[in-house]
């Protein structure tokens, strides 16, 4: 997966916005003002990209046991976040599934009002 594919995939989801809340390097994607994906642009440029994604805690443990490229979230809650080393032993299609899972977890945590506003924006 390349940066453009990652970027376009995240932005294609309903109600997603991009931000740089921490510094000029860390690209953060949010839905309803809550983060669901973040990544260092410098690491993409260096050829060692990784993405932090929210994950169901039980599933997070299973994924870490199954894939070398999936580790506890770097600088994040180790319970709720994973760091995925892109272009390692995780396929692009599976990375997209993990992005979807993160997005859905965050979207479902939003208030019903905000969820409805996001759905209406896209219609």
Alpha carbon distance, N-terminus to C-terminus of the chain: 29
Contact 80, 54 (CB under 8 A): yes
CATH number of residue 26's parent domain? 3.90.1150.30
pLDDT tens digits, one per residue of 54-111: 999 999 999 999 999 999 998 899 999 999 999 999 999 999 999 999 999 999 999 9
Domain that holds residue 113: 3-117
Q: Is the pLDDT of residue 121 over 90?
A: no
Q: Is the pLDDT of residue 123 over 70?
A: no
Classify residue 76: in a domain, yes or no: yes
Classify residue 50: in a domain, yes or no: yes
Give the dihedral sign, CA 24/64/72/96: positive
């Amino acid at each position: 997966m390349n940066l453009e594919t990652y970027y376009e995939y995240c932005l294609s989801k309903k109600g997603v916005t991009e931000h740089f809340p921490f510094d000029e390097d860390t690209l953060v994607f949010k839905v309803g003002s809550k983060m669901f994906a973040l990544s260092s642009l410098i690491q993409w440029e260096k050829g060692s990209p990784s993405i932090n994604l929210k994950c169901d805690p039980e599933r997070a443990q299973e994924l870490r046991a199954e894939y070398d490229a999936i580790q506890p979230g770097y600088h994040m809650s180790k319970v709720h976040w994973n760091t995925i080393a892109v272009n390692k032993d995780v396929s692009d299609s599976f990375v997209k599934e993990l992005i979807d899972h993160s997005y859905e977890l965050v979207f479902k945590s939003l208030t019903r009002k905000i969820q409805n506003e996001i759905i209406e924006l896209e219609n």
